[in-house]
Structure 1
Amino acid sequence: MSSTPAPAQKYLQHPQISIIQDWLLKPDAPIHIKGLSGSSPALLITALKENHPHLFVAADKESAAYLYHDLIQINDESDVFFLPSSYKRSPEFGQPESSQLILRTEALQQLRQAKAQQFFITYTEALLEKVPGGSVIEEQTLTIGINERIDLFFVVDFLKELGFQKADFVYEPGYYSVRGSILDIYSFSHEEPFRIDFFGDEIESIRSFDIENQLSKSSFDEITIIPELVATGSADYLPLTQSITNDIVIWMDSPALVQSRMNAIFEKVTERFDAGKAEEVLELKIPEPGQLVDGDQLMQHLSDKPLVILNSSQASPLLKPFRLTLPHNPCFTKTSTWWKPIFWSDSRRVIKSSFYRITIASWNACVKYLKIAGPKSATRSSSMLCMKLCRP
């Protein structure tokens, strides 16, 4: 686990942040945080990451991708997981995407055993799909390791039961091949396929390999094989908010917008499934309505979860909003001089009031900022957090 970055630690000294920290110890009701902008949500969540795993729900995929990118710049990348939709665009249009299925399976697997200081990022379309309950994952998961005694043909039979298909060479998730004592498997739990070498009934080695040149890459002591976890209408598949534990803090950007978008997409999926031709539905793999959940159902399971609402104008008036004023910096250019009096006036105000300024920007923007503002900008009362951010 990575330690909290110095600028994020400064957040912890803010009185409003202390109130939020106290709330996290006993989250009896949702809270509403206003005033965040740009990449500041990533810094805020990082500052409050201790003691809890965190699930962030963005309104759309682009916003979720921005936050994911920001979080991996200031945290250990192995602690940040992206939970996408299984589909290329939206469940409304079908067409599952293998790369997204792998990311989704990995994130769901980690979410089942989420630990403090881990982050999970998702968005509206991804929440539409029901997720497997713990019993489903346990029944459809095979964990094997080096020196373990297990019969090759037992593994093959288990793969068939899970829906894996046999091929001469594996080239995408869901396939396996057997050549003598070597078993190649492309699981949905890893970005690359595995090559398992048996010596009799004992596993001698496990390696990942490149599907283009078939050359081995990394070695593993133990791996988990997971099939495509396709949602069904059975009771074993649940809304995401119902399947997670109560210690996961949920951060939701504009819940009313997420709920309305989910309801709209759910209605379109239902209409298309009912009106579509059987061949088209099968070809595009458009999900049945029973495999999905609408926004109303999803929100029903938030009442007993720690919920933080961000930047929403539609939050309940009963919720006390915490305002964190984090404005965008103006656009600095070498030829423009209008901003300099404002900048120095604001800097003097910050110093006199004992405030601490944190400027969040990309590395190039930080360098440009310091060149234009001059050495006086580097005061004891300011700090610059320079990251490879996607947005200012």
Structure 2
Amino acid sequence: MTKSSLQQLYAQSPQLGKLRNFICQNHPNIALNGLSGSAISFVTSAIFNETDRPFLVVLSDKEEAAYVLNDLEQLINETDVLFYPGSYRRPYQIEETDNANVLLRAEVLNRINSRKKPAVIVTYPDALFEKVVTRKELTKNTLKINQSDTLSLDFLNEVLFEYHFKRVDFVTEPGEFSVRGGILDVFSFSHDEPYRIEFFGDEVESIRTFDVETQLSTNKVSRIRIIPNVENKHLNETRESFLKYISTDTVIFLKNPELIYSRIDLFFEKAKKTFGELDSEIKHSEPEELFTNSDLLKEQLATFTMAIIGGFGHMPNSENVDFNTTPQPSFNKKFDLLIANLNDNNDKGYENYIFCSSDVQTKRFHDIFDEVDENVHYKTKVFPLYQGFVDHDLKLACYTDHQIFERYHKFHLRNGYAKKQAITLKDLNKLEVGDYVTHIDHGIGKFGGLQKIDVEGKKQEAIKLMYGERDILYVSIHSLHKISKYNGKDGAVPKIYKLGSAAWKKLKQKTKSRVKKIAFDLIKVYAKRRLDKGFQYAPDSYLQLELEASFIYEDTPDQSTATEDIKKDMESERPMDRLVCGDVGFGKTEVAIRAAFKPAVNGKHVPVLVPTTI
């Protein structure tokens, strides 16, 4: 049974038919009773696919919201599921917003404003607590640019300054723009990649997105919207609750409403306290203008079709939809308990599904169960589900691998901007004039800053490097791969030669000769080792698989690769010669434990060397 057939099973259930009717009739209060674990995600996705209305799903906190978001992204088309986070790094920190979160919030507002097809928006109290700019203000502060439009660069420059964008040499984060000749680079708050707009005179010739790290184009687009930082609390725009911004046709799913209201009131009290401690000489907006309290939230929620999740008893003044699900049982990593439970379910007519985070985990289950002589009734699916559950009406048992093994289950938030934090251009901007840098062709020089130079009558940005006897080299920003920060002995001042000198060439040649000699010696050693035969370990056993599955954290891709390579070496008849390197806290010990366990189950001893200090 596939994910879609599981959804279909829910879509055909009597409870979904009842819920669909209540939503179509716009009942203000619907109580969804008896939903456990990720049954919430299956029900939400099934009913969303059955109705042509936008959904807002409000969970208790960011972590739960992120997990449910990941479930829904796999059950619904990913482009139709959006995450609406709070804009602060911590629950309440007005002065320090997180640009990655601001991008996600702006994307949601932009999607609602563009009136595209309905979407599921997943959020939590911290995000609803903050008011947003009105639709009218957002439309007024949105700059739309289409290919072939006639616009002057001076006009765009002026508009971007009005939007509080910062003009820089190279854009590296949202809210920045740069102008180079007839090219405008701008990083809007509504997209996780910046735009490069090329002009032919005053005509927009092409629009492309580009990677800030490589400066290479990624996609060509015909129209864009440039949105400023809509979460800037120092702006004077009129603000309103997020519930006033969304369509009145939206169906709102609320989990544990009382907890949500109390959390919002807690934030509001903190906001009032902080406001009272602010500098009275500077005019600040009142908390009521920037934030929402629970009374306002309750008043606005009353105007929507609302479904309350989490109740296990009938709610007064509500239309009740009763489900019969229970949480996944706890097995305490004991496979005999798991096998007994799966077979007992099968005897009662239940279908057993184990949802795994990866193909590796699926294979582990198959191998572990194959070692047992009993016939185990189950099916596996590669689908990292948040929480397992048993649906007694549909006779369905959905278990998760991470709960069986008591492993930590990670959520994943789309964050294209954050992955580009440590970039070449940003590092370059951090260099101070006078810092030593190395150019692969010309050797060590001093960084002289970013300069604008004339190249065939056009102004271009270049990096200025200073060499011996006052020689200067200008390097194009497209040749950044040839430059690196100088790394030498601490405190030692490197020798700087003049440009064109044979000294750097000789030094490179000398280094190459030394490297060749070392390589030759190593080849001789390895050739000799290749002829020797070592102990060949057996493939992974049941015990090895059970040990590896019991680690509480999921392996990173690098850990998986390192473990796989080590095992390949150990299962070969050639002596192993491998060194695993990694920074502190990057998971070397977990790889070492896996490697050490293999000799132990093959009847060998394993010496463990530890540092003298910990």
**What range is the shorter-chain TM-score in?**
0.7 to 0.9
In 2, are the aligned partners of 1:30 and 1:306 still within 8 Å (CA)?
A: yes
In 1, are the aligned partners of 2:171 and 2:187 still within 8 Å (CA)?
A: yes
Tell me the residue number matched to 1:354: none
Number of residues of Structure 1 aligned to a counterpart in Structure 2: 378
Identity over the aligned pairs, expressed in percent? 30
TM-score by length of 2: 0.57
Gaps of 5+ in 1: 352-356
Q: Distance in 1 between matches of 2:107 and 2:286?
A: 21
Tell me the residue number matched to 2:113: 112
Amino acid corresponding to residue 77 of structure 1 in structure 2: E
- 1:244-298 CA-to-partner distances (Å, cap 9, x unmatched) read 212111111111110111011110111022124579x99xx99845211112111
Tell me the residue number matched to 2:541: none
Say which is worse superposed, 145-154 or 252-261, in terms of deviation: 145-154
In 2, are the aligned partners of 1:187 and 1:226 still within 8 Å (CA)?
A: yes
Tell me the residue number matched to 2:31: 32
- 1:149-203 CA-to-partner distances (Å, cap 9, x unmatched) read 2222222222122222222222221121111111111110111111100001111
Tell me the residue number matched to 1:304: 303
The answer as to 2:355 corresponding to 1:361 is: yes
- 1:29-82 CA-to-partner distances (Å, cap 9, x unmatched) read 211112222222211111011311111111111011111111112222111111
- 1:321-353 CA-to-partner distances (Å, cap 9, x unmatched) read 3221222333458854345455434333336xx
Point out the structure with max Rg over C-alpha: 2
The answer as to 2:240 corresponding to 1:238 is: yes
Tell me the residue number matched to 1:11: 10
1:366 Cα deviation (Å)? 5.8
Amino acid corresponding to residue 245 of structure 1 in structure 2: S
Cα distance change of structure 1 residues 222 and 360 upon mapping to structure 2, 3 Å threshold = farther
In 2, are the aligned partners of 1:81 and 1:121 still within 8 Å (CA)?
A: yes
Pairs within 5 Å for 1:324-335: 324-331=323-330
Cα distance change of structure 1 residues 320 and 24 upon mapping to structure 2, 3 Å threshold = closer
Tell me the residue number matched to 1:318: 317
The answer as to 2:383 corresponding to 1:387 is: yes
Cα distance change of structure 1 residues 93 and 242 upon mapping to structure 2, 3 Å threshold = closer
Amino acid corresponding to residue 172 of structure 2 in structure 1: Y
SS of match in other structure, 1:247:
coil
Cα distance change of structure 1 residues 136 and 89 upon mapping to structure 2, 3 Å threshold = same
Tell me the residue number matched to 2:272: 270
SS of match in other structure, 1:91:
coil
1:28 Cα deviation (Å)? 2.2
In 1, are the aligned partners of 2:35 and 2:325 still within 8 Å (CA)?
A: yes
- Pairwise CA RMSD: 3.0
Q: Distance in 1 between matches of 2:376 and 2:69?
A: 34
SS of match in other structure, 2:326:
coil
- 1:7-37 CA-to-partner distances (Å, cap 9, x unmatched) read 1111011111110011111122211112222
Q: Distance in 2 between matches of 1:233 and 1:13?
A: 50
Cα distance change of structure 1 residues 22 and 189 upon mapping to structure 2, 3 Å threshold = same
Cα distance change of structure 1 residues 178 and 74 upon mapping to structure 2, 3 Å threshold = same
In 2, are the aligned partners of 1:143 and 1:222 still within 8 Å (CA)?
A: yes
1:358 Cα deviation (Å)? 6.9
Q: Distance in 2 between matches of 1:386 and 1:34?
A: 29
In 2, are the aligned partners of 1:332 and 1:369 still within 8 Å (CA)?
A: no
Cα distance change of structure 1 residues 93 and 156 upon mapping to structure 2, 3 Å threshold = closer
Q: Distance in 2 between matches of 1:111 and 1:358?
A: 40
In 1, are the aligned partners of 2:207 and 2:220 still within 8 Å (CA)?
A: yes
SS of match in other structure, 2:139:
helix
In 2, are the aligned partners of 1:7 and 1:385 still within 8 Å (CA)?
A: no
Cα distance change of structure 1 residues 31 and 231 upon mapping to structure 2, 3 Å threshold = farther
SS of match in other structure, 1:144:
strand
Q: Distance in 1 between matches of 2:193 and 2:301?
A: 35
1:375 Cα deviation (Å)? 6.2
1:306 Cα deviation (Å)? 1.1
In 2, are the aligned partners of 1:197 and 1:206 still within 8 Å (CA)?
A: yes
In 1, are the aligned partners of 2:354 and 2:380 still within 8 Å (CA)?
A: yes
In 2, are the aligned partners of 1:175 and 1:186 still within 8 Å (CA)?
A: yes
- 1:340-379 CA-to-partner distances (Å, cap 9, x unmatched) read 455434333336xxxxx4746235566666664976625x
Q: Distance in 2 between matches of 1:331 and 1:209?
A: 48
In 2, are the aligned partners of 1:92 and 1:269 still within 8 Å (CA)?
A: no
Q: Distance in 2 between matches of 1:255 and 1:208?
A: 41
Pairs within 5 Å for 1:136-147: 136-147=137-148
Tell me the residue number matched to 2:437: none
In 2, are the aligned partners of 1:83 and 1:103 still within 8 Å (CA)?
A: yes
In 1, are the aligned partners of 2:199 and 2:205 still within 8 Å (CA)?
A: yes
In 2, are the aligned partners of 1:188 and 1:227 still within 8 Å (CA)?
A: yes
TM-score by length of 1: 0.86
Gaps of 5+ in 2: 388-399, 401-614
Q: Distance in 2 between matches of 1:314 and 1:291?
A: 37
Q: Greater relative contact order (Cα 8 A, min sep 6): structure 1 or 2?
A: 1
Cα distance change of structure 1 residues 140 and 264 upon mapping to structure 2, 3 Å threshold = same
Tell me the residue number matched to 2:256: 254
In 2, are the aligned partners of 1:4 and 1:46 still within 8 Å (CA)?
A: no
In 1, are the aligned partners of 2:41 and 2:72 still within 8 Å (CA)?
A: yes
Amino acid corresponding to residue 229 of structure 2 in structure 1: E
In 1, are the aligned partners of 2:65 and 2:122 still within 8 Å (CA)?
A: yes
Cα distance change of structure 1 residues 301 and 174 upon mapping to structure 2, 3 Å threshold = same
The answer as to 2:149 corresponding to 1:148 is: yes
Tell me the residue number matched to 1:377: 377
Tell me the residue number matched to 2:85: 84
Cα distance change of structure 1 residues 150 and 115 upon mapping to structure 2, 3 Å threshold = closer
Q: Distance in 2 between matches of 1:183 and 1:384?
A: 51
Cα distance change of structure 1 residues 25 and 202 upon mapping to structure 2, 3 Å threshold = same
Amino acid corresponding to residue 121 of structure 2 in structure 1: F
In 2, are the aligned partners of 1:175 and 1:185 still within 8 Å (CA)?
A: yes
Say which is worse superposed, 23-32 or 181-190, in terms of deviation: 23-32
Q: Distance in 2 between matches of 1:114 and 1:138?
A: 12
